[in-house]
């Protein structure tokens, strides 16, 4: 069976909510039934076949061929199966996703992996603001799973992150890990100002020294035993994080945000082992 493929005919004028097009909702439907599914686009309601050419039959493997950044909510509440986006994804990619995998060959918009519960999201390009964050008004963001971004991410990455891991090969914007409750965010590139702002618990794992708020306190240099286990868990990923040469276990630890509970940590890679005194 070939993947059930949706090829965008032309870029929509308004943003389109693709949340009905997830594996568990399409399973067992005929192409005609899928074509008749209604999608919301602003005040308009569009049939799927007005937007997409549909081919293939395997509803557990979806492909979206998109040259638009207005396709929102791809993989919303996905509960198994895989989705591949060839091109760009709009906002809310993998919103509240429960299981399965989503890969995006291009960029993803705002709120990717927002309130995600489990599974894997891999974005080959860049991701927008609030990656792995919480919907406005919600107190808990991403609660599990893994997000890999090979490019850069916007501001407020991991806002209210509760659990799970966000791995960023590029740079992160401002307020990375803001209001984190727990979980792990790893950034190989640089991070913007106010990293870890108001974080309660959790780990920001950084390859480069950040500009931290004054409410983070230096806890010194340490060799941490959990880091080799963490890096070993990345080995199956299609990412630079899987490369054992990027792994380290020697870090400078900053505790904070002391304006909050102060149980969070920012771990900054130390390039060379320090001698013990």
Partner 1 sequence: MMINGVTLDDTFAEAFPMKATRAIITAQNEKWAMISAQAMTGFATSVIACGCEAGIERVLSPDETPDGRPGVAVMIYAMGGKGLAKQLETRAGQCVLTSPTSALFAGISGGKPIPLGKNLRYFGDGFQIAKKIGGKRYWRVPVMDGEFLTEATTGMVDAVGGGNFLVLAESQPQALAACEAAIDAMRQVPNVIMPFPGGVVRSGSKVGSKYKTLNASTNDAFCPTLKGVTETDLSAEIESVMEIVIDGLTKEDIAQAMRVGIQAVCDLGAAAGIRRISAGNYGGKLGPFHFHLQEIMA
- CA gyration radius, the chain: 20
| Residue 48, CA distances (Å) to 8, 62, 94, 213, 262 in order | 10, 14, 19, 48, 49
Name the residue nearer to partner 1 (CB basis): 43 or 245.
245
Min dist. Cβ of residue 189 to partner 1 (A): 23
- For partner 1, the closer of residues 76 and 163 by Cβ is 163
- Residue 147 CB, shortest distance to partner 1, in Å, is 15
Contacting positions for partner 1 (CB under 8 A): 144, 163, 182, 184, 201, 203, 222-226, 228-230, 232-233, 263, 265
Q: Write down the least CB distance from residue 172 to partner 1, Å.
A: 20
Integer Cα distance of 153 and 150 in angstroms: 9
In whole angstroms, the minimum distance from the beta carbon of 13 to partner 1 comes to: 43
Shortest separation between residue 26's beta carbon and partner 1, angstroms = 28
129 phi and psi angles, rounded to 5 deg: -70, 160
Q: Which is nearer to partner 1, 106 or 228 (CB)?
A: 228
Q: Which is nearer to partner 1, 212 or 227 (CB)?
A: 227
Contact 202, 186 (CB under 8 A): no
Task: Output 13 or 229, the one with its CB closest to partner 1.
Answer: 229
**DSSP track, 179-209:** T--S-EEEESS-B-TTTTTT--S-EEEESS-
Q: In the structure encoding, which two tokens stand for residue 122, read together? A: 């891999």
Per-residue DSSP letters for 205-250?
A: EESS-----TT-EEEEEEE-THHHHHHHTTTTSSSGGG-GGG---E
Omega prior to 106 cis, within 30 of 0? no
Select 151 or 228, whichever has its Cβ closest to partner 1. 228
- Is residue 125 within 8 Å of residue 88, measured between CB atoms? yes
Question: Taking the alpha carbons of 71, 115, 147, 219 in that order, is the dihedral positive or negative?
Answer: positive
CB 216 within 8 A of CB 257: yes
Nearer to partner 1, 24 or 223 (CB): 223
Nearest distance from C-beta of residue 250 to partner 1, angstroms: 12
The least distance separating partner 1 from the CB of residue 226, rounded to whole angstroms, comes to 5
């Amino acid at each position: 069976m070939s993947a059930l493929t949706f090829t965008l005919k032309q870029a929509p004028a308004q943003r389109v909510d693709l949340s009905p097009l997830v594996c568990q909702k399409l399973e067992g439907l005929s192409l005609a039934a899928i074509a008749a599914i209604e999608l919301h686009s602003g005040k308009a309601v569009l049939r799927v076949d007005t937007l997409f050419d549909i081919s293939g039959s395997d509803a557990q493997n979806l492909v979206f061929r998109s040259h638009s950044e207005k396709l929102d909510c791809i993989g919303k509440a996905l509960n198994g199966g895989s989705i591949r986006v060839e091109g760009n994804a709009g906002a809310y990619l993998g919103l509240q996703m429960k299981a399965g995998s989503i890969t995006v060959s291009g960029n993803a918009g705002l709120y990717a992996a927002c309130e995600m519960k489990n599974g894997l999201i891999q974005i080959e390009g860049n991701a927008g603001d609030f990656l792995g964050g919480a919907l406005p008004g919600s107190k808990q963001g991403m609660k599990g799973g893994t997000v890999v971004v090979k490019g850069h991410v916007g501001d407020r990455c991991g806002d209210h992150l509760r659990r799970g891991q966000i791995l960023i090969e590029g740079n992160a914007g401002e307020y990375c890990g803001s209001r984190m409750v727990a979980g792990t965010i790893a950034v190989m590139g640089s991070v913007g100002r106010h990293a870890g702002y108001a974080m309660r618990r959790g780990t920001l794992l950084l390859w480069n020294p950040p500009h931290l708020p004054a409410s983070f306190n230096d806890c010194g240099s340490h060799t941490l035993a959990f880091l080799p286990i963490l890096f070993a868990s990345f080995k199956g990923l299609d990412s630079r994080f899987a490369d054992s040469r990027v792994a380290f276990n020697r870090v400078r630890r900053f505790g904070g945000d002391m304006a909050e509970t102060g149980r969070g940590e920012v771990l900054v890679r130390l390039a060379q082992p320090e001698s013990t005194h």
